Structure 1
Amino acid sequence: MSAAGAFSLDQLMELAGLACAQTLATVYGKDKYPRVLVCCGPGNQGGDGLVAARHLGMFGYQPTIWMPKPGSKDIYKRLHSQCANMHIPTLDNSLDAMRDALSSHDVILDAIFGFSFKPPVRSPFDTALPLLSESSLPIVSVDIPSGWDVERGNAEGVGLEPDVLISLTAPKEGVKAFTGRHFLGGRFVPKTLEEKFQLNLPPYPGFDQIVELPRVSGSQKL
């Protein structure tokens, strides 16, 4: 996610995180799935997760954050402080803490790796991803499932297989094989950018920040 169209990174991350929170809330209502384990990587993807955690807290969910390698940028630290100010707990960064948390949560928000990820999956995430997959909890992935290549998808077979995907701005080439529920978030995309890259974006309903994409022959397309 780049700061394009005169938007600052803060603005883009805030809007992206809000779209992620709205997607999870749309599919997994807080009455049945109140406890959300938000798994954040050290990059912009993790920042989106922190924003989503804050909004989920405002929506009435009970989010908990796990980030084994917190981002070092000032924006990441500020986003984490905002969550702390909402009394959203953060686990210690050990795998044991994450493993224990899986048994007391209802749904996972995967904000670990973004579209710039390139295999192989390195420690501690090489152990964390299988634990998340084996938990049998529903998973909502941000932009692209963690462990997937932006162009080749889950060709290595090491990535998560989420139930729900929220693509940001536009779906990535590598998610053509994704067969779960697929949402698009990116109502912030300016007309000039949409026209330049011929994004062919669908209309967003009402004042929603997300739109669900249709399933076409086992995959989602615009």
Structure 2
Amino acid sequence: MALKTLSAKAAAALDRDLMSTGAFSIDQLMELAGLSVSQAVYRVHPVTQGSRVLVAVGPGNNGGDGLVAARHLRHYGFLPTVYYPKRSKNDLYQRLVKQLEDLDVPFVEDFPAALESTDHVVDAIFGFSFSGEVREPFPAVIQAMANTKVPVTSVDAPSSWNIEEGPPKSGTGSSFHPDVLVSLTAPKPLVKFFSGRHFIGGRFVTHAIAKKYDFDVPEYEGIDQVVEVGPEGHKL
């Protein structure tokens, strides 16, 4: 049985449903998404393997998930550093930044330099709503993530990938293959081009919503916010 996936259009509609009939606020969804990302990172890269985590944050919701993940990682004992070149003026993002500043989490301007002294990277630049060209300053950042030997965990989608068609055929991101992918709510069609460790996070989806959008809610264990799945969607 192939893994059921969610198109970009369906993912956007599902988010709207969660925030209308589902009664969730965007703050709640971002908090739960970032928490699940932090748990996946902890699972694949325990603090004992190196505490330095570099989080690359984009301008939208995917970046917000990264900011939340960085906060949780700090509480787990990691030493996160955040690269956030295009800061949102939205109050929600400004509060997430303030929360990190209060935990003495440093923000850096030079991504390639920061990459040289980290143990793990979280790619929270672009999510399921990404399309079109990768704009500055992100082409060099994505290329650096493609070239590094440091393990990379991508949030919902490897940045620059087409949600339906996977990595670009050429140019920025064509050689970017992260080690870990955390699919939020449900996997997107690009997972068929991904060959690393795959987690699903989204322990807030009701069975009614999953039925409406025709995907399966995995069985989360205990207090886990993520489930690792194999290529066919079976639980590992």
CA contact (8 A) 1:42 1:72 kept: no
Q: Is the 8 A contact 1:20 1:166 kept in 2?
A: yes
Moved more, 181-190 or 69-78: 69-78
| Runs of at least 5 residues in structure 1 that lack an aligned partner in the other structure | none
- Flag structure 2 segments of 5+ consecutive residues without an equivalent: 1-11
What secondary structure is seen at the aligned counterpart in 2 of 1:17?
A: helix
**For 1:27-57, what per-residue CA distance to the aligned partner results, in whole angstroms no more than 9, with x for missing partners?**
0010112100000000000000000000000
**Range that drifts further, 200-209 or 9-18:** 200-209
Q: Does the CA-based 8 Å contact 1:40-1:112 persist in structure 2?
A: yes
Query: What is the TM-score normalised by the length of structure 1?
Result: 0.92
Q: Does 1:213 align with 2:229?
A: yes
How far apart are 1:221 and its partner, in Å? 7.1
Give the one of 131, 134, 142 matched to 1:129. 142
Instruction: Map 1:46-195 onto structure 2 (within 5 A).
Output: 46-92=63-109, 97-157=110-170, 158-159=172-173, 160-195=176-211
Match for 1:11: what amino acid? Q
Q: State the one-letter code of the partner of 1:72.
A: K
Structure 2 length-normalised TM: 0.87
**What count of residue pairs does the alignment treat as equivalent?**
215
Contact 2:205–2:217, Cα closer than 8 Å, also in 1: no
- The 8 Å contact of residues 176 and 221 in structure 1, kept in 2 or not, is answered as no
Pick aligned residue for 1:9 from 21, 26, 32: 26
2:160 and 2:168 in contact (8 A); partners too: no
Decide which moves more: 40-49 or 2-11: 2-11
Deviations 1:80-120 (A, max 9, x none): 1111111111113xxxx211111110010000001111132
SS of the residue corresponding to residue 154 of structure 2 reads strand
